[in-house]
A and B are shown apart, each in its own frame.
Chain A
């Protein structure tokens, strides 16, 4: 089994203040390994997004530690957290969050630009990433000219183009129909298998569990159960190893 990429220990997160205070995460322990798709499921309000934010260094935990690729996020300020995200993490959101005034390839390039990589190399990498998600023919299309599924594929290309160690996706198929959802999940699963990246997917859709190596259940801020995902996992991993 690959080394853990993200390790979370004894995470507690309290959100809000005063009467509206919510203990969103309670003593969460979790590690995400490379080459593995982890699915996070649970009822609405159970803390999935909060956990994803903490693991992705967007939110600092109230207590507990998060380690990303060996670097602890403890005590980091906003700028240092941004650096951790920049170096190790790619995000995919339910509502895509593409830049409406930028073409598909520019949207993807932007992820490289914030990392200081620009010019022809960046453009070539953006092309490759869009090709991986099957959008080589839509490089110059603007988000409004793309379907929801296509927009989400651009968002995935944007998340993978900088070669992050972990991809965290919050309900990436939430706004898509079943068919498109399956396609997106399949892309994410392939990314995990082919490149030893760790992929965490928050979802409500139990039809997607066939893509998961592990399924973690969260309820009221606590991890309550963990299941092994489908049987294809070992086969995929062997294929990935054979590729080395």
Chain B
């Protein structure tokens, strides 16, 4: 181990209390930032989860549709126009919308109905029953996590949506909605009746291409023949939904504001402790300077201290971050910590600690080696 790193380490651990204070500061700040960003990622993923599970090439939607949950409708007879375009293999209507789920007790709880052809978009993570069973009249799929809310106990449980009797034919695990309104999956025609959409309308038209068809060409032709609709790829629609929920609603901005607050608090705390540590060791820095050490060498000791703070604090914070991930895993809004986020957090923590070393460096810049004679 290089000697300047040894010196930095010893200086750091010399004053245990200060070290603990520094660690609390860094861990607090890094966990705060990590959780905010993890929520951001988790939220970003959650708002597009249905889009992610829809196997289509293009989405046709009413012009100006903001997100997947947008209740805008388009006329389903466009389907014939779409089908006529070269390169289009299949056009599948998809309907979505809020409805009322009537519990046996007579209470009504809101649900979000999703209905399609049960192939292009089918409920995933089915743990009980089958997707095929959903084609039977009144068959719906619900998620296990909403059993209590919906007053059901599993396959065969009965309920009523807007006057239509339904029974649970498939149970999924982990299809949670960030709106906390339960998703109900059914086939297209039943979904229309549950939501109250006439059979001439649909929320989306899902367009699948023939093998070898050029996506851009088909898309342009579609767009030209449907001037009052929008044609987006899955990636574009995902991005539009994500941006809407994160920034159109201010939710993302709030998360970012929290993260920035965390960074500021962390920088100030680390800066403060590093500065006071440097002040306590000023004698030693003056001695180094008297011994002829370059400024760079002295900075290296301070920077090493900062980076040690960063690495140790980051390690502790990551452990706590993973605990948070476990705790929120099955919650309404899971915190998502990806490898990229971890790497970004490490870099951010290091930058934060090095920036916080600036005050200490400016202090040591003014150290006069002559002071070693008078102390």
Whether A5 sits at the interface, judged by CB under 8 Å, is no
Given contacts A53-B370, A85-B290, A91-B372, whether A102 and B283 have CB atoms under 8 Å apart is: no
Q: Chain B: which residue is nearest A48 at the CB level?
A: B373
* B3 x A110 contact (CB < 8 A): yes
* B292 x A85 contact (CB < 8 A): yes
Contact-size category for A: 20 to 34
Given contacts A59-B370, A114-B288, whether A102 and B6 have CB atoms under 8 Å apart is: yes
Given contacts A53-B370, A58-B369, A110-B3, whether A102 and B291 have CB atoms under 8 Å apart is: no
CA distance A83 to B295 in the complex (A): 10
Q: Chain B: which residue is nearest A119 at the CB level?
A: B2
Q: Chain B: which residue is nearest A78 at the CB level?
A: B295
Whether B10 sits at the interface, judged by CB under 8 Å, is yes
Within 8 A of B (CB), among A98-119: 99-102, 106, 109-111, 113-115, 118
Contacts of A89 in B (CB 8 A): 292
Q: Chain A: which residue is nearest B289 at the CB level?
A: A82
Given contacts A79-B294, A82-B293, A115-B292, whether A99 and B287 have CB atoms under 8 Å apart is: yes
Contacts of B272 in A (CB 8 A): none
Whether B16 sits at the interface, judged by CB under 8 Å, is no
* B373 x A111 contact (CB < 8 A): no
* A97 x B370 contact (CB < 8 A): no
Whether A86 sits at the interface, judged by CB under 8 Å, is yes
Whether B181 sits at the interface, judged by CB under 8 Å, is no
Mask: chain B, 76-97; 1 = CB below 8 Å from A; 0 = not: 0000000000000000000000
CB distance from B266 to the nearest CB of A (A): 26
CA distance A106 to B10 in the complex (A): 12
Give the contacting residue for B292; candidates A52, A53, A83, A102; CB below 8 A.
A83
Whether A93 sits at the interface, judged by CB under 8 Å, is yes
Contacts of B370 in A (CB 8 A): 53, 58-59
Interface centre among A52, A82, A85, A94 (most CB of B within 10 A): A82
Contacts of A91 in B (CB 8 A): 290-291, 372
Whether A95 sits at the interface, judged by CB under 8 Å, is yes
CA distance A102 to B288 in the complex (A): 13
Whether B11 sits at the interface, judged by CB under 8 Å, is yes
Given contacts A87-B292, A115-B292, whether A102 and B373 have CB atoms under 8 Å apart is: no
Whether A150 sits at the interface, judged by CB under 8 Å, is no
Contacts of B369 in A (CB 8 A): 58
CA distance A100 to B284 in the complex (A): 9
Contacts of A86 in B (CB 8 A): 291-294
* A99 x B292 contact (CB < 8 A): no
Give the contacting residue for A93; candidates B2, B10, B293, B373; CB below 8 A.
B373
Within 8 A of A (CB), among B324-375: 369-370, 372-375
Whether A63 sits at the interface, judged by CB under 8 Å, is no
Whether B14 sits at the interface, judged by CB under 8 Å, is yes
Whether A186 sits at the interface, judged by CB under 8 Å, is no
Contacts of B373 in A (CB 8 A): 49, 52-53, 93-94, 170
Contacts of B135 in A (CB 8 A): none
Q: Chain A: which residue is nearest B373 at the CB level?
A: A49
CA distance A82 to B296 in the complex (A): 12
- A sample of 11 cross-chain residue pairs with beta-carbon separation below 8 angstroms, ordered by A number, consists of A59-B370, A82-B292, A82-B295, A83-B294, A85-B291, A91-B290, A93-B373, A97-B372, A101-B7, A114-B292, A114-B294
Q: Which 9 A-B pairs have the closest CB atoms?
A: A86-B292, A101-B10, A114-B293, A85-B292, A113-B3, A97-B287, A49-B373, A82-B292, A58-B369
